[in-house]
């Protein structure tokens, strides 16, 4: 009788063990299935973001077509191809004390520049950087410009006696305003629309120089705006000041844009007398470029629909710093929801739009530690996802690489489009001149994997022989100095 009981217990234990083993196997299979699903999501993203050279050349050709259309008539293209009224770029002869105000993102800068002419060149420069409170980015025009003018007043108030101007002479300012503006002269222009997270309805359609001038009067700032400059036009001016062969400028930062020097005769929509120089700087507003050839994913389309400017700035939304980290977050969220990539519970922080910024994405992408410690810390500190496996961290790095590579290669295709339009994509016999492109922006400056990929791709697109004649220079703070230089070249006291 006793033997039977023991036998029964052993059998029961064996059955229980078998059930436990079956559950473990089932769990393992389930984990394996989840991992496979996560990898499938990443692979699908990689395929949809693919940018083979043939596709990039199609995008460059489409860019050229849109450039021609935008130059032909207002509203003729998604590319605004705005006339900047800058028909003379700096020569190096500029002399005197000038200011610049650079508004283009979540911060603005105030600069003071002393120019010493051909011999002294850039004698001295000082600047202050001021963050813009988020509520002012969606408030009213008066509140935003009063805040800016008040900071400008503080900057001027700190000056010593040696910077005091003679009686009857006003300080002169170059205003870098990095949003789509239709300029009506070198020192006036109406806002077309806000981008980069700004949305202030009562500024749209208004002359932004007038808005700033009224605010400066209210704040007691005695300053005259001599030049209204888009940041990319400013970068072009600043680049030309230091490199005489600069013919175009590209900003790759929070947002993105490009400007270049066009022959005045190649602008059908220009109705005034042709400028003496025969040239005109064109502000492309290339962030709004769109083509059926662009490799867009469901994540990009959803981001666009949910953005403040749905249907606009599509090119910007796949190549610029404001959006790259957000695209990565959206893919990670999908992996968490569909494949339990971070465990059975979807991390709540991962659901917050724009919580993963592009500088954080860059830090993860550049992590060379053996255990990808930076990736682990970013996931823990920003998204509150602790204890990630090395395997999972590697997937995160791969995802950053996919999104950054697409953005960088598309930026290169855009630059190729400009070079094609200018006839600089081939080497002409006997032409020894270099073609220099000024680049600026935090994305280009700090995300080295991105900028290296962009430059390598441009060389690949141009081919070895043409690449030798093309040079990219970093025009650091070009937009601010450029605005001051253009204020100098358009001075009332010249």
What pLDDT score was predicted for residue 494? Answer: 62
- What does the DSSP assignment read for 393-428? HHHHHHHHHHHHHHHHHHHHHHHHHHHHHTT-SSPP
What pLDDT score was predicted for residue 268? Answer: 96
What pLDDT score was predicted for residue 28? Answer: 43
Q: Are 254 and 281 in contact (CB under 8 A)?
A: no
CATH number of 84-242+477-490: 3.30.420.40
Write b or e for each residue in 43-60: b if 16 or more Cβ atoms lie within 10 A of its Cβ, otherwise e: eebbeebebeeebbbbbb
Structure tokens at 18: 């078998």
d(CA 456, CA 311) in angstroms, rounded, equals: 30
DSSP state of 350: G
What pLDDT score was predicted for residue 361? Answer: 98
> What is the model's pTM?
0.85
How far is CA 286 from its chain centroid? 11
Q: Which of 273, 74, 287 is nearest to 180 (CA)?
A: 287
Question: 10 Å Cβ neighbour count for 320?
Answer: 25
Radius of gyration of the chain, Cα coordinates, nearest whole angstrom: 27
Write b or e for each residue in 350-367: b if 16 or more Cβ atoms lie within 10 A of its Cβ, otherwise e: beeeeebbbebbbbbbeb
d(CA 12, CA 434) in angstroms, rounded, equals: 85
The residues, any chain, with a CB within 8 Å of residue 264's CB and separated by 6 or more, are 87, 270, 274, 275, 277, 278, 279, 280
Q: Are 438 and 243 in contact (CB under 8 A)?
A: yes
- Mean pLDDT per 10-residue run, the chain (494 residues)? 39 40 43 88 98 98 98 93 90 87 88 80 83 94 96 87 72 90 90 88 95 96 92 91 93 94 95 89 96 98 94 96 98 97 96 98 98 98 96 98 98 98 88 89 96 98 94 83 88 70
3-state SS class at 246: strand
Residues marked active site are found at: 109, 178, 231
What pLDDT score was predicted for residue 27? Answer: 43
What pLDDT score was predicted for residue 162? Answer: 64
The residues, any chain, with a CB within 8 Å of residue 396's CB and separated by 6 or more, are 328, 332, 364, 375, 379, 388
State the chain's maximal CA–CA distance in angstroms: 119
Structure tokens at 119: 């011999």
Structure tokens at 373: 């410690």
């Amino acid at each position: 009788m006793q033997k039977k009981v023991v036998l029964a217990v052993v059998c029961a234990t064996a059955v229980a063990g078998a059930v436990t083993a079956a559950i473990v196997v089932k769990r393992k299979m389930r984990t394996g299935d989840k991992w496979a699903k996560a990898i499938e999501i990443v692979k699908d993203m990689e395929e949809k973001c693919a940018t083979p050279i043939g596709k990039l050349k199609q995008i460059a050709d489409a860019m050229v077509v849109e450039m021609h259309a935008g130059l032909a008539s207002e509203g003729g293209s998604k590319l605004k191809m705005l006339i900047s009224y800058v028909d003379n770029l700096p020569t190096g002869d500029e002399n005197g004390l000038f200011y610049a105000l650079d508004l283009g993102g979540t911060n603005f800068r105030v600069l003071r520049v002393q120019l010493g002419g051909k011999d002294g060149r850039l004698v001295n420069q000082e600047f202050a950087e001021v963050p813009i409170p988020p509520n002012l980015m969606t408030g009213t025009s008066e509140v935003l410009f009063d805040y800016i003018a008040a900071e400008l007043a503080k900057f001027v108030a700190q000056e010593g006696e040696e910077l005091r101007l003679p009686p009857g002479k006003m300080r002169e300012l170059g205003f870098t305003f990095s949003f789509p503006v239709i300029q009506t002269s070198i020192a006036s222009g109406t806002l077309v629309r806000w981008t980069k997270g700004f949305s202030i309805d009562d500024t749209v359609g208004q002359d932004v120089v007038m808005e700033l001038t009224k605010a400066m009067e209210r704040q007691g700032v005695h300053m005259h705006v001599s030049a209204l400059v888009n940041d990319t036009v400013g970068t072009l001016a600043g680049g030309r000041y230091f490199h005489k062969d600069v013919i175009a400028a590209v900003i790759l930062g929070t947002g993105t844009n490009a400007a270049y020097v066009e022959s005045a005769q190649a602008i059908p929509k220009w109705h005034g007398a042709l400028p003496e120089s025969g040239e005109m700087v064109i502000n492309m507003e290339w962030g709004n470029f769109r083509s059926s050839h662009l490799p867009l994913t469901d994540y990009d389309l959803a981001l666009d629909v949910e953005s403040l400017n749905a249907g606009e700035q599509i090119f910007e939304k796949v190549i610029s710093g404001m959006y790259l980290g957000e695209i990565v977050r959206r893919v990670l969220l999908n992996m968490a929801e569909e494949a339990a990539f971070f465990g059975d519970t979807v991390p709540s922080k991962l659901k917050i739009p724009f919580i993963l910024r592009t500088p954080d994405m860059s830090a993860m992408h550049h992590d060379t530690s053996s255990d990808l410690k930076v990736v682990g810390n970013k996931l823990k500190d920003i998204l509150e996802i602790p204890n990630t496996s090395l395997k999972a961290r590697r997937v995160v790095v791969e995802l950053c690489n996919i999104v950054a590579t697409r953005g960088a290669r598309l930026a290169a295709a855009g630059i190729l489009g400009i070079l094609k339009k200018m006839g600089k994509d081939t080497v002409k016999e006997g032409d020894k001149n270099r073609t220099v492109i000024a680049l600026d922006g935090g994305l280009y400056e700090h995300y080295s994997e991105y900028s290296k990929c962009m430059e390598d791709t441009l060389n690949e697109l141009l081919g070895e022989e043409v690449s030798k004649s093309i040079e990219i220079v970093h025009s650091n703070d070009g937009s601010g100095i450029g605005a001051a230089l253009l204020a100098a070249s358009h001075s009332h006291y010249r």
